[in-house]
Amino acid sequence: MTDHSSAFTIPLVGALARLGVRHVCITPGSRSTALALAFADEPSVADWSHHDERSSAFFALGIARTLREPVAIVTTSGTAAAELHPALAEARHARAALIALTADRPYELRDLGAPQTMDQQGLFGRTVKWAHDVEAAAGAPAARVVALAARLVAEATDVPAGPVHLNVRYREPLMPSAEPPETPDPPKVVFAPLDPPHDAIAEIAAAAAGRRGMIVVGPQDDPGVPATAPLLAAAAGWPILADALSGLRCGTHDRSAVIAAGDPLAWEGWLDRVDPEFVVRVGAIPTSKPIWQWLESARRVPQVLVEPAGWRDPMASATTVIRADPARTLQALAKTIDTPSDPSWLEAWRRGDQAAADAIGAVLEEARFPNEPAVARLVGRAAPDRSTLWVGSSMPVRDVDAFLESTDRRVRVMGNRGVNGIDGLISAALGSAAASGEPTIVLAGDLSVLHDLGALATAGRLGIPATIVVVNNDGGGIFHFLPQEGHPHFERHFATPHGLDFTEVAPPLGVAAQRIDHPEALAEVIATKAPGPRLLEVCTDRGENMLLHRDLRAAVARAVADL
C-alpha cells in the first residue's frame, strides 16, 4: 500500500516536472524527506543540494531569473522555512517565479512546545503572490494534487511572475513506500498575450510626433525589449537612456541610439539643458538617481509608462500607463509614429554621450589603480562574449550604470534590484552560472560577500566556474556619498570596517583566490575561462573613491559645458 507522504508528494512532483519545473534547490531535513526524495528520483528535474536555506533560495532565484522559468525550493519545518523570506522578497519585486515548498508538522502539534514546530501557514504574508496550506493525505485524489501543482505554476508565472508558497503537513512515517503512485496528466494552462491597445497607440504616436523625446529603459529582463526599443528610437529620432540592467547596453542589436553615459550626464544637469518634451518608459525605476529625480520633477512632460502588470511608478510621474507587453508596444509605436524629431536632437545626445565617455576615460587614465570606477569599467570591457555579469547593489551597480560602455559583445548584466538588497548576491550568481553554463562574473562589494560567505562553500563544493570580483574597501563605501558621512559614529555604525582578507577566507572553502593590483592582470583573468570557482580581491580606499567620483563629475561637466 502507498503511504500518505508518497500518495501526495509523488503526483505533486511529477506534475510540477511535466509543467516545466526543471530545477529544484533542496536543503537537508527530516520532515521534507518525501519532497527531497521525490525530486531526486524525478529524472527531468535537476536537484541542487545546499547546506543552508537562505543561500539555497537565492541560488534558485538566480536560476529563475536567468532561465525565466519557475524553480522550486524545498525546506524542512521551522526556522528553515523562514530563511527563504529574503529571496522571496527579491523574487516578488524582481518578478521571478519561485515555488517555495515547505514541509510542516501536523496541526495538532502547534502551540504545544513540539520541537521544530511553528506557525508556517501564511508565513510569508504578502511577499508571495499566492499561498496554500495542505496536509499530505493518502486519500487525496491524484487529480486534485496535480491540479494544485498546475495552480502553483500558473500563479508563479502569470504576469507579473513572482513567488508562491505551498506549506505541506506531513505525518509519520516520513520515508516513502516502495510502491509509487501514478501521476495523471496535469491540466494545461494557457495565458493570452497582452496586445497593445491600438487606439491608445495612435493617440500617443500623434502626441509624440516631431517632439524631442527619449526612451528610458530601466532594469528589466524581457528579451524582446533590446530588439524593439531601437525600432522606436529610429522611427522617432530619440535617444535611449539604457540602464546597465536594461539589456540594451550590450549585444548585437542596434545600439546607435543607446546612451551609456546617461547617469553622468544627468548628474551635471544635462536633462534640464536639453529639455525633453516626451518620455516613453519601460522597466523598473532607473538605477540612476538623477534620472529618476528628473522624471519625478518634470511633470510638465508627458510620460508614457509601458507596464505589462503591477504598478512601477514610485515617482507618480506617469501621465499614461499602457498595460501591455512592452516589446509589442514599442514595436507598435515604432510602426505608428510617422514624424521623427529633428535629427539634431539625437545628434546632440550622441555628442554628449561621447564627450562624457572621453572625459571619464581621461580621468581614469590618470587615477591610481585600483579604484572602483576603473574596476567597473574594466570588468565590462573584459567580460567575454555570451557571458553574464552579476552586479552587487549599493556602489557596484551604480558604478556599472555610470561607467559600463556600450558594446556588441553579448554580456547579460543582472543584479538583485527588486528590493536592492546586498544579501544573496553570490548565491544568485552561482545559480545563474549553473543554469546557463555561460561564463559568469560577479562584481561584488565586500559587505555583499560577507553576507553570503556560505555561497563560497557552495561554489567550492559544486565546482561552479564563476569569477567573483570583490571590491574590498573595508566597509560600506556608499555611505560616504550620503548625509551620514562625517558623523562621529560614522565608522562604527555605517562604514563598519571588518579588516578581512578575502584571499585568506576563500581557499579553505574551496575557492581559488588572488589579490589583483594591476588593470592588465584583472582584464586577463576575467577574459579567461574559469576552470572552477575563483575569487579576485581588489582593494580600494573609501575616502579616495568619493573624491574620484567628484573629479569624474567635474570632468564631465567641463566636457559638456559648451555642447
The single-letter code of the amino acid at 373 is P
Instruction: State the pLDDT at residue 138.
Output: 67
Contacts of 270 (CB under 8 A, 6+ apart): 352, 560
Separation between Cα atoms, residue 127 and residue 82, nearest integer Å: 12
Stretch (H or E) spanning 134: strand 130-135
Instruction: State the pLDDT at residue 1.
Output: 42
Enter the pTM of the model. Answer: 0.93
> What percentage of the chain exceeds 90 in pLDDT?
78
Instruction: State the pLDDT at residue 140.
Output: 72
Separation between Cα atoms, residue 292 and residue 305, nearest integer Å: 13
Separation between Cα atoms, residue 267 and residue 262, nearest integer Å: 9
Separation between Cα atoms, residue 196 and residue 202, nearest integer Å: 11
CA-closest candidate to residue 390, choices 366, 357, 424: 424
Answer yes or no: are the C-beta atoms of 325 and 332 closer than 8 Å. no
pLDDT tens per residue, range 259-287: 999 999 999 899 999 999 999 999 999 99
Instruction: State the pLDDT at residue 113.
Output: 54
Stretch (H or E) spanning 379: helix 372-382
Domains of the chain: 4-169 (3.40.50.970), 198-343 (3.40.50.1220), 367-560 (3.40.50.970)
The three grid cell numbers given for residue 74, joined into one nine-digit string = 524545498
Instruction: State the pLDDT at residue 114.
Output: 62
Instruction: State the pLDDT at residue 252.
Output: 97
Q: For the chain, which residues score pLDDT lower than 50? A: 1
Torsion of CA 35, 41, 42, 45, to 10 degrees: 80
Mean pLDDT of the chain: 92
Answer yes or no: are the C-beta atoms of 520 and 374 closer than 8 Å. no
